[in-house]
Structure 1
Amino acid sequence: MKDDFPQRLLRVSAASLLVLAALAGCDSRAPSTTDSTTTVSADTVTTQATEKVEWPVLNSAIKKDPAVEARVDDLLARMTLEEKIGQLVQPEIRHVTPEDIKQYHVGSVLNGGGSTPGANKYASLEDWVKLADSFYYASVDKSDGRIGIPVIWGTDAVHGLGNVIGATLFPHNIGLGATNNPELLKQIGWATAREIAATGLDWDFSPTVAVARDDRWGRTYESWSEDPQIVHAFAGKMVEGLQGTGGSDRLFTHEHVIATAKHFIGDGGTLNGVDRGETQGDEKVLRDIHGAGYFSAIESGVQVVMASFTSWEGTRMHGHKYLLTDVLKDRMGFDGLVVGDWSGHSFIPGCTALNCPQSLMAGLDIYMVPEPDWKELYKNLLAQAKTGELPMARVDDAVRRILRVKIRAGLFEKGAPSTRPLAGKKDVLGAPEHREVARQAVRESLVLLKNKNNLLPLARQQTVLVTGDGADNIGKQSGGWSVSWQGTGNTNADFPGATSIYAGINAVVEQAGGKTLLSDDGSFSEKPDVAIVVFGEDPYAEMQGDVGNMAYKPRDTSDWELLKKLRSQGIPVVSLFISGRPLWVNREINASDAFVAVWLPGTEGQGIADVIFRNAQGEINYDVKGRLSFSWPKRPEQTPLNRGDANYDPLFPYGYGLSYGDKDTLGDNLSEEGIQLAEALDVLDLFNRRPIEPWQLEIIGYQNDRVPMASSTVTASSLKIQAVDRNEQEDARRVQWNGSGPGQVALSVGDRQDFIGYVKSDSALVFDIKVNAAPTVTTYLRLGCGSYCASDIDLTEKLKGFAGQDWQTVTVPLHCYPNSGANFGVTQPPEEFWTQVLQPFSLLTSGTLDVTFAQVRVVKGAGKDVACP
């Protein structure tokens, strides 16, 4: 084991030493005179709440230019109030047209995760450029005396250009944090910027510079580390890669785009890791832990900072004047623009998505407003500016910042997107040189946690069994923000040019004269010399990735059983674990001879084979370089878990990682007792902002057309389902039946589940529902266990009673379900029925019906003394 990870992380510049001095609690105005390796750990942030906190004064690599400022002054003097307000509003491409851009003087647009031109998942580069052109030409139209300010389009390219088919997808940040290679981040930023430029876009909502402190957070994988030191080292380099180097001729060339440091501030430090929650800690914690990435990003010249959904000390960040204005802009000297996040301003008390002057007054410069009726926000802002509720000084300051960024980025000179050097260039998207950078990142991100008897690296000339549900699954290895927002609903065909983990292994083994066997379930006809099992978390993104504890699939033992089965046959087992966070996998580690955390490697699976196999001469091809940038839990409930904590007791500490040849004393006897805690949870979530593993959503039409919900909207013959917002983005599902015949929506699973324990615990099925239009014929709530095994409860009158009302919570005791064969003329013993549950929640009708549901769960004890529907 190598234990010098923190000490060898980086060499910092003299300017950065000022910032790191602030992180260590020193006066930022007393610079060190030495240029040396500097270590800052999470254990330096304890303080008394009354201590005065000095935020650092930062110097951006992009200096104020009098010529730019004069140009801004000239534009501001000639702009009408309507033109100024238009610069403050950022609609989503699904709800804005070129005519809207012109009429409302819109200054920027965005595409959300999975949003594409024409709502076409397979939109071509030409489609992206064509739409960008249409927005651009509308924005620069100078008819009727308009100034004609170029529009700017932002996109979430958080690990490569995830919304575009064929792009290079790099390892997510959690893997990059393990590489110990800040310079690699600069290369990744450069490659990402080039591929964004190929679409004609100008702006990346990246990098995420969160310091994730509770791994239950669903965005943990978007963080480089639990420790601010790594985040500080990487953030500035990523900004340089995306934008170019400030003060040089490599700034904002045709190969560069505008970068965004997000989410300001404290998004990785919320209570219990709940997305959009309350950030924990006093102001010194906020500065020393969560400020680290912003310090180096601002020094490197980042032009945009995105506000966080989170709150601190009871105030939402989109309305936090002290942090957005006093700290970020005034004290730290950030002179770029502050953009909101997906209607984040609507979370401010007294605000709605379409009316929130408080946010602009707090320091927000651009409202991200993805609602279809975004024009109402424009009208409200305009009226508030006319009455003086919004002072012109604040409006002008916001517009000044927006214009400054656009001028610095060269948007007034670049011309239409289609005229730019990289626009529409298919050879740029997924270019070999980009994929090589990604492949290097994969190699350097792998962390070897166990290597019994030095099993790894493997000889190439062997018969190798490759199995597990992640073996030949590029979507799973890429994770969230990959083609779709949550990374779900994709197949390998959606990643042209990419290499699955299996394909990488197969190329190495076959070239050397060995043999690979690909098997879904671990079966084989020829006994292999070694088995490589690829398994782990399924894709997820923000909100939908939040979990309650760190146990890996506590109720699903299929991966563990597969590992044990192979080992029982005398086959050495190598586990490649895909995950967006460290998880409690003691059972799986015990059942493995070698265990490698591969994180979310992205599209270049070949990088894994590069490391786990020897070269043609039988020597180490690439050593394992990755070291944990997150502490690995010893127990499922062990969170938060961070280096420097009191009573710090991880299974694998921050900085851990084996190299080839290191002695591994781990053994096969890690405690497995923690699983009882995870399995004893009182609530079994079936749908919580997304279907919870192993449950999947599907609809079934009258033509027996069964359609899994693989995208945000899917349609069958008699109904359709779409992801909609209730409290958060896409946290609910709306289902509409068209009356053409029987239609069913169901949460389903492939293998029958045993619910006896829930039945005996007075459990109930509990779900939230909003009836948009009442049922026209009988509607059933169904619990099914197969084609001829179902139990229905008539829900018609209850749903009619809910019509026109707000959200309602329905509680159905499990004992209320009638004999399972009622609809099919068969009977089944009650206990046998409850051991074969395939569809614990489904709605079925043949008429018209329009409902939205959320939060489907089975709750122990909730059915006691509750009347049946």
Structure 2
Amino acid sequence: MKKVLQNKSIQQKVDELLSKMTLEQKIGQMTQADRMTCSPEQAKHYHLGSILSSAGSCPDDNSPKGWVEMNDAYWQASSHQDSQHIGIPIIYGLDAIHGNNNVKGATIFPHNIGLGAANDPKLIKHIAEVTSKEVLATGVDWAFAPNLAVARDYHWGRSYESYAEDPNLVTLYAQKMIETLQGKLKQDNILACAKHWVGDGGTQYGVDQGDTILSWEELQATHIQPYKAAIKAGVLSIMVSFSSWNGDKCHAHKFLLVDILKQKMGFDGIVISDMQGIDYLEDDFYLAVAQGVNAGIDMFMVPRNWQLFIDNLLSHIELGTVSISRINDAVRRILSVKYAFGLFDKPRPAKRKWSNHPSFGCDEHRQVARKAVRKSLVLLKNSNSILPLKKHARILVAGKNADNIGHQCGGFTVNWQGVSGNEEIVGGTSIWQGIQKVATRSELSINGDGLEASPELHDLAVVVIGETPYAEGMGDIRGDDKIITEAGSQINGQVKVLRASGDSLELNKLYPEDLQTIKNISNKGVPVIAILVSGRPLIIEQELLASSAFIAAWLPGSEGQGVSDLLFGDYDFTGKLSFSWPTLSQTKVNKGDKHYNPLFPYGFGLSYYLK
């Protein structure tokens, strides 16, 4: 793809537009507000360049129809031309990180950790195609995806957003995802956003928004590598990481943002901040604004305080603490991307080809997600070839995650922290429902605890265990809050601390009911097939020992019947671990480590027919 800042026809249009713009209009383009804090009239008045929906922020009618109507109102307001308004369409963004996951009825794909286990670049292209269509169905142009984190410590609450601990797989997927999402930047495509630049998966102790302490060579080899592929694939936006590198916050890191990303690597799209990302640079937000702009950020995700951001930036320009040339550079990048994407030529959202398209959440899309589930599951244990199961077997299905589509979708689904139950995920299938469809003699445990298990009534049991939903820092595992104090003391700026989801990677300490359910059943002589629903590998020695078979299902998304496709042998297991499995003595384990001794190594995965 021809670089947008070198495209003469685009730059002629940008030059013409820039020459007409007031300072207020330029700063407006650099500002991204949330729909909850900014009406279409305000977006017009302040000349805003972008609106976003943070996770869970949606119109009252959380359907494609409601989204299109909302987007149409913003588009019309921002495109209006008069003596005060130049008429630049806003670009609307959201976190479509495993399908268009904000919207009810969307196809929800497995989270990235499962897709890494699938090790299938063609599948990634199909997922990107479906995601594009389901985002476009809502009138939206921009997805804050893919996440190119290389997660190196499972204590991190965003581990499931990473494809692999190996940067090579992340690099391969980055190219496929971006090439397909953006395509030829026509009506069938959306803008991609590679995130988070850079090193978010390498923080000390796995603390979200923490400090990645690495040499420049190590940062390049592990965390920068995927971004080279993203830029080569033509990605038009990159989001900055909340994390720090050797104590210096990425949001204020001119070396990383300008010297490396923009100049050395040649990225000429939009550098966008993360959610309120500049707030933590300084105690005084006024000073933080100048730091972020001068460090090279072009667009600012400031959903809560966007008006203050505008006022402060105007003041900085007046005082000379931010140069007008830096403003012009940022706005040039934003306008260039909008022109390259054809935003000025597109019809309003209500009139677009894919808006309200009947393919949203359709069976064809769900079949792609179902295939993704099949390819992502990893078989860790299969004693005496108990799997595959017979469809006429008497099966007890138990465990808290057996009939809970919300749990199997994980975080960033309908709401930021995900949901529980089956009501919020319209059109999905739980793992139990998938089993029930093909095994007519299966039975769901009444309370999920398996106490009704009996060898006279049940040949075996499928027990679906594991984590409940979380997102970002609220998924962190921290044994001791001294970790935060230690990490924070090394970072220049503030550290945002969220309540951790637990204090141990041991499944039995996080969710003791899981092992109890397995024992309730196995102690009665009924063999157990355990299925782990989780956003990361957990320490599972006890659960593994008490089960006859064990499957890592990750966070499979809305299509639970993909699990039963494998359980009953309609398909074989092909998933291989893209993360090494930890043990009590080695909770942080990555291939290539000096004393590498995981429970299961990177690339491990059993199958039925290959011994």
Is TM more than 0.5 here? yes
Quote the offset at 1:181 in angstroms: 0.4
Moved more, 75-84 or 301-310: 75-84
Residue type of the alignment partner of 2:400: D
Q: Could you tell me which residue of structure 2 aligns to residue 499 of structure 1?
A: 429
Provide the C-alpha distance between the structure 2 equivalents of 1:345 and 1:60, rounded to a whole number of angstroms. 31
SS in 1 for 2:507: coil
Q: Could you tell me which residue of structure 2 aligns to residue 421 of structure 1?
A: 353
Q: Could you tell me which residue of structure 2 aligns to residue 352 of structure 1?
A: 285
Quote the offset at 1:146 in angstroms: 2.2
Q: Could you tell me which residue of structure 2 aligns to residue 142 of structure 1?
A: 81
Residue type of the alignment partner of 2:543: E
Quote the offset at 1:61 in angstroms: 7.7
**Alpha carbons 1:446, 1:597 under 8 Å: kept:** yes
Provide the C-alpha distance between the structure 1 equivalents of 2:23 and 2:338, rounded to a whole number of angstroms. 19
Provide the C-alpha distance between the structure 2 equivalents of 1:60 and 1:144, rounded to a whole number of angstroms. 35
Quote the offset at 1:60 in angstroms: 6.6
1:15-47 per-position Cα deviation (integer Å, ceiling 9, x unaligned): xxxxxxxxxxxxxxxxxxxxxxxxxxxxxxxxx
SS in 2 for 1:462: coil
1:209-233 per-position Cα deviation (integer Å, ceiling 9, x unaligned): 0000111000000000111011011
Residue type of the alignment partner of 1:88: M
Map 1:297-336; keep pairs closer than 5 Å. Answer: 297-336=230-269
Matched, 1:634 2:583: yes
Provide the C-alpha distance between the structure 1 equivalents of 2:360 and 2:143, rounded to a whole number of angstroms. 16
Q: Could you tell me which residue of structure 1 aligns to residue 410 of structure 2?
A: 479
Residue type of the alignment partner of 1:281: L
Higher strand share: 1
Provide the C-alpha distance between the structure 1 equivalents of 2:226 and 2:197, rounded to a whole number of angstroms. 10
Q: Could you tell me which residue of structure 2 aligns to residue 229 of structure 1?
A: 168
Q: Could you tell me which residue of structure 2 aligns to residue 767 of structure 1?
A: none
Q: Could you tell me which residue of structure 2 aligns to residue 567 of structure 1?
A: 522
Quote the offset at 1:136 in angstroms: 0.8
Query: Given the alignment, which residue of 124, 132, 154 partners 2:93?
Result: 154
**Alpha carbons 1:227, 1:629 under 8 Å: kept:** yes
Q: Could you tell me which residue of structure 1 aligns to residue 131 of structure 2?
A: 192
Q: Could you tell me which residue of structure 1 aligns to residue 484 of structure 2?
A: none
Map 1:593-604; keep pairs closer than 5 Å. Answer: 593-604=548-559
Work out which of the two has the higher radius of gyration on C-alpha atoms and give 1 or 2. Answer: 1
Q: Could you tell me which residue of structure 1 aligns to residue 493 of structure 2?
A: none
**What 5-or-longer segments of structure 1 have no aligned partner?**
1-58, 245-250, 615-620, 664-869
Q: Could you tell me which residue of structure 2 aligns to residue 89 of structure 1?
A: 31
Map 1:199-348; keep pairs closer than 5 Å. Answer: 199-244=138-183, 251-348=184-281
Matched length: 583
Query: Given the alignment, which residue of 92, 115, 131 partners 1:176?
Result: 115
Quote the offset at 1:362 in angstroms: 0.6
Provide the C-alpha distance between the structure 2 equivalents of 1:146 and 1:370, rounded to a whole number of angstroms. 22
Q: Provide the identity percentage.
A: 47
Residue type of the alignment partner of 1:161: N
Quote the offset at 1:517 in angstroms: 4.1
Matched, 1:77 2:19: yes
Provide the C-alpha distance between the structure 2 equivalents of 1:590 and 1:65, rounded to a whole number of angstroms. 61
Aligned CA-pair RMSD = 1.6
Higher helix share: 2
Residue type of the alignment partner of 1:540: Y
1:547-571 per-position Cα deviation (integer Å, ceiling 9, x unaligned): 0342114164221122122122221
Quote the offset at 1:408 in angstroms: 1.0
1:526-546 per-position Cα deviation (integer Å, ceiling 9, x unaligned): 611121000100000000000
Q: Could you tell me which residue of structure 2 aligns to residue 16 of structure 1?
A: none
Matched, 1:589 2:531: no
Provide the C-alpha distance between the structure 2 equivalents of 1:449 and 1:353, rounded to a whole number of angstroms. 53
SS in 1 for 2:396: strand
Matched, 1:130 2:69: yes
Provide the C-alpha distance between the structure 2 equivalents of 1:424 and 1:556, rounded to a whole number of angstroms. 41
Provide the C-alpha distance between the structure 1 equivalents of 2:206 and 2:568, rounded to a whole number of angstroms. 37
Provide the C-alpha distance between the structure 2 equivalents of 1:243 and 1:112, rounded to a whole number of angstroms. 21
Provide the C-alpha distance between the structure 1 equivalents of 2:101 and 2:191, rounded to a whole number of angstroms. 17
**Alpha carbons 1:345, 1:353 under 8 Å: kept:** no
**Alpha carbons 2:198, 2:250 under 8 Å: kept:** yes
Quote the offset at 1:280 in angstroms: 2.0
Provide the C-alpha distance between the structure 2 equivalents of 1:283 and 1:60, rounded to a whole number of angstroms. 29
Which structure ranks higher in relative contact order (CA pairs < 8 Å, sequence separation ≥ 6)?
2
Q: Could you tell me which residue of structure 1 aligns to residue 571 of structure 2?
A: 622
Structure 1 stretches of 4+ with a deviation exceeding 3 A read 59-64, 514-519
Q: Could you tell me which residue of structure 2 aligns to residue 394 of structure 1?
A: 326
Provide the C-alpha distance between the structure 1 equivalents of 2:80 and 2:4, rounded to a whole number of angstroms. 30
Provide the C-alpha distance between the structure 2 equivalents of 1:633 and 1:662, rounded to a whole number of angstroms. 25
State TM-score, norm by structure 2.
0.93
Query: Given the alignment, which residue of 382, 392, 396 partners 1:461?
Result: 392
Provide the C-alpha distance between the structure 2 equivalents of 1:153 and 1:296, rounded to a whole number of angstroms. 25
Provide the C-alpha distance between the structure 1 equivalents of 2:29 and 2:427, rounded to a whole number of angstroms. 39
Provide the C-alpha distance between the structure 2 equivalents of 1:596 and 1:555, rounded to a whole number of angstroms. 19
Moved more, 290-299 or 646-655: 290-299
Matched, 1:521 2:449: yes
Provide the C-alpha distance between the structure 1 equivalents of 2:161 and 2:173, rounded to a whole number of angstroms. 13
Q: Could you tell me which residue of structure 1 aligns to residue 465 of structure 2?
A: 535
1:460-507 per-position Cα deviation (integer Å, ceiling 9, x unaligned): 12111111111110000000001110013x431211211110111111
Provide the C-alpha distance between the structure 1 equivalents of 2:2 and 2:370, rounded to a whole number of angstroms. 32
SS in 1 for 2:83: helix
Residue type of the alignment partner of 1:274: V
Residue type of the alignment partner of 1:634: T
